[in-house]
């Protein structure tokens, strides 16, 4: 009976033939095991730094962990595997399926599993008579060792349905070789695809019609955490917009003497915003990793007397989390908290706003409420497969846009990935620099078959690699790829390097992946 172990107990298994105990420790650690009673010990594998001794009538084994495995045999039928942590990662405990006379109760669970030493991943094990079948994944050719649980007199051993040549010793340990075959993978060059482009910020054009937009006309707020500082609420959630980007349009009659616009905006940590007066870019807050609220004075330049429109694009980074019990940070509103227009009272500005089309009655029920924001292409549904891109201009993300604003880029490509492999794919970006070697400030939303799969913020972080799993990506067919490119700088922005890369090649027993629901584009007559 084991009395104590200073090493971590990974697992153990006992059957009629033997008991196997697997323990491990961190690199270079000293550990000790005590087994009740006096026992004989011998080394099946390795012996360096392992000191068995009898102490107070008990058997004590003291050792220093090493990358080299040591196996100590205690008496005739107990085997202790002494491992370091990295070696333990190659050990797997697989439950055997129950039969008519067994189940997964605590009393017999140790009789219903096997211990396997192998490589990347072992999935299942089953035993029928003297036949054992294993399934798993490989990323390299590795030895296989069924340490415990193999029937004595094993006659057949298979892995992923293929027979293995094996040997079995007197303690029923079966050994074989698992052979990995590298796949032939051809991925498209995204830069060479037929990309199509449209402007996704038509709101700053003089002929834009915002009559269908919700008016920000609530004279109160539903938010109990922060009172209003404006005549009407400009908190986005008061109007049903809880996620994604936000766009505000403020209409006022100018005297021509206005000089500054002050905005206090809350968008969450790492948010950004951009401001236009009519179609003239006024400025941006490009964001950083700490700031969730920003007050800025914007110089309006030359203002023409008469009707003018302020357009504010805000990146909504999600609601705050509560890090402390009883905190109410999640109630922090998103949107414009306060504003001042020189020479005017606040009531001189009439605001409208939008977020994702439909707000709480969001349009795409298959992809959920967090998938879309306020940008024009999103509201129209152009990020969805089969969008009507054929009449759009030909332009690549590498060409980008030349002014502050938002461009929408879309393309399609085919994949023909080999079967029998799990090959994770990621879309990767590389930041663009100007002639002064400074990073331009832009934000990219990535859509794959209609699903938003991340946002790359060039000056924050940034995260540049976005894994997209099989099922969202069609590994054996057509894929629709789209992105919004928002330049927060007057000089514009471009995505000079954008590629699809494989991050691993795993030979797998997992089988076919059923694609996620990919509802295609359908014209939204209610979109504005």
Indicate whether 488 belongs to any domain.
yes
Average pLDDT, the chain: 94
| Pairing of the two strands 131-137 and 156-159 | parallel
Reply yes or no on whether the pLDDT at 177 is more than 50.
yes
**Other Cβ atoms closer than 10 A to 247:** 24
Give the number of residues written for the chain: 528
- Are 403 and 461 a contacting pair, CB within 8 Å? no
Sign of CA pseudo-dihedral 458, 461, 462, 467: negative
Report percent pLDDT > 70 for the chain: 96
The pLDDT of residue 325 is 84
Pair 339, 399 in one domain: no
Which of 323, 354, 385 is the endpoint of a domain?
354
Whole-number pLDDT of residue 468: 98
Question: Are 164 and 45 within one domain?
Answer: yes
CA-closest candidate to residue 355, choices 231, 457, 267: 267
Q: Has residue 459 been placed in a domain?
A: yes
Report pLDDT digits (tens) over 242-270.
999 999 999 999 999 999 999 999 999 99
How many whole angstroms separate alpha carbon 138 and alpha carbon 222? 55
Q: What was the pLDDT predicted at 185?
A: 97
Q: Is residue 476 part of a domain?
A: yes
C-alpha 245/C-alpha 247 separation (Å) is 7
Q: Are residues 194 and 227 in the same domain?
A: no
What is the CATH number for 235?
Answer: 2.60.120.260
pLDDT higher than threshold 90 for residue 127: yes
Q: Please indicate, yes or no, if residue 363 is contained in any of the structural domains.
A: no
Q: Residues 68-100: pLDDT tens digits?
A: 999 999 999 999 999 999 999 999 999 998 754
Is residue 109 very low, low, confident or very high in pLDDT (cuts 50, 70, 90)? very low
Asked if residue 430 and residue 293 are part of one domain, the reply reads: no
167 and 34 within one domain = yes
Contact 144, 512 (CB under 8 A): no
Q: Are residues 171 and 194 in the same domain?
A: no
The pTM of the full predicted model, rounded to 2 decimals, is: 0.88
Asked whether residue 414 falls in the same domain as residue 491, the answer is: yes
The answer to whether position 372 is within a domain reads no
Mind listing the pLDDT tens digit for each residue in 303-314? 999 999 999 999
Which of 417, 175, 405 has the alpha carbon at shortest distance from 311?
405
Pair (253, 305) in one structural domain: yes
Q: Which single residue is written with the structure tokens 């790359």?
A: 456
Q: How far apart are the first and last CA of the chain?
A: 74
Q: Has residue 183 been placed in a domain?
A: no
Q: What is the pLDDT of residue 134?
A: 97
**Which CATH number goes with the domain that contains 172?**
2.60.390.10
Same domain, 152 and 27: yes
In the structure, what pLDDT confidence band is assigned to residue 321 with cuts at 50, 70 and 90?
confident
pLDDT over 70 at 438, yes or no: no
- Tell me what pLDDT residue 260 has: 98
Which pLDDT does position 322 carry in this prediction?
Answer: 84
Asked if 126 and 34 sit in the same domain, the reply is yes
What's the structural domain count of the chain? 3
Per-residue pLDDT tens for 378-421? 999 999 999 999 999 999 999 999 999 999 999 999 999 999 99
Predicted confidence at residue 432, as pLDDT, reads 53
pLDDT score of 191: 96
> Residue 394's domain spans which residues?
190-199+377-507
Within a domain: residue 144? yes
């Amino acid at each position: 009976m084991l009395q104590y172990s200073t090493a971590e107990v990974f697992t153990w298994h006992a059957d009629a033939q033997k008991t196997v105990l697997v323990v491990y420790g961190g690199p270079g650690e000293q550990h000790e095991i005590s087994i009740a009673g006096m026992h004989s010990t011998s080394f099946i594998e390795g012996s360096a730094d392992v000191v068995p001794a009898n102490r107070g009538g008990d058997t004590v084994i003291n050792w220093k962990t090493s990358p080299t495995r040591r196996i100590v045999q205690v008496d005739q039928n107990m085997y202790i595997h002494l491992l370091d942590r990295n070696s333990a990662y190659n050990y797997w405990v697989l439950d055997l399926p129950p039969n008519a006379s067994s189940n997964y109760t605590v009393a017999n669970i140790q009789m219903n599993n096997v211990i396997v030493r192998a490589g990347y991943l072992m999935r299942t094990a089953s035993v029928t008579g003297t036949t054992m079948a294993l399934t798993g994944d490989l990323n390299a050719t590795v030895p296989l060792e069924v340490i415990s649980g193999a029937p004595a007199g094993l006659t057949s051993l298979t892995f992923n349905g293929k027979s293995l040549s094996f040997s079995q010793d007197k303690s029923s340990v079966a050994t074989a070789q698992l052979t990995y075959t590298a796949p032939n993978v051809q991925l498209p060059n995204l830069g060479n695809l037929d990309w199509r482009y449209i402007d996704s910020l038509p709101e700053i054009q003089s002929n834009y019609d915002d009559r269908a937009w919700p008016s920000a006309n609530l004279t109160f707020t539903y938010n109990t955490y922060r009172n209003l500082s404006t005549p009407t609420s400009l908190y986005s959630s008061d109007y049903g917009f809880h996620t994604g980007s936000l766009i505000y349009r403020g209409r006022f009659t100018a005297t021509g003497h206005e000089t500054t616009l002050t905005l206090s905006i809350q968008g969450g940590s790492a948010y950004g915003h951009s401001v236009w007066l009519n179609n003239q870019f006024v400025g941006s807050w490009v964001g950083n990793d700490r700031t969730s609220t920003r007050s800025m004075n914007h110089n309006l330049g030359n203002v023409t007397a008469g009707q003018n429109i302020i357009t504010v694009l805000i990146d909504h980074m999600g609601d705050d989390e509560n890090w402390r019990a009883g905190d109410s940070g999640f109630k922090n509103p998103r949107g414009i908290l306060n504003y001042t227009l020189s020479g005017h009272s606040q009531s001189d500005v009439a605001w409208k706003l939008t977020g994702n089309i439909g707000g709480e009655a969001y349009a795409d029920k298959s992809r959920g409420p967090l998938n879309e924001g306020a940008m024009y292409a999103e509201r129209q549904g152009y990020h969805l497969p089969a969008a009507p891109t054929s009449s759009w201009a030909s332009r690549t993300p590498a060409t980008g846009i030349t002014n502050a604003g938002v461009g929408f880029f879309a393309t399609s490509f085919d994949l023909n990935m080999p079967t029998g492999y799990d090959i994770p794919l990621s879309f990767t970006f590389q930041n663009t620099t100007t002639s002064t070697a400074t990073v331009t400030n832009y934000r990219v939303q990535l859509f794959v078959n209609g699903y938003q799969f991340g946002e790359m913020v060039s000056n924050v972080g940034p995260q540049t690699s976005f894994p997209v799993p099989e099922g969202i990506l069609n590994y054996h067919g057509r894929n629709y790829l789209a992105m919004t490119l928002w330049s927060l700088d007057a000089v514009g922005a471009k995505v000079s390097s954008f590629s699809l890369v494989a991050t691993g090649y795993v030979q797998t027993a997992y089988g076919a992946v059923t694609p996620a629901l990919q509802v295609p584009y359908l014209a939204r007559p209610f979109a504005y």
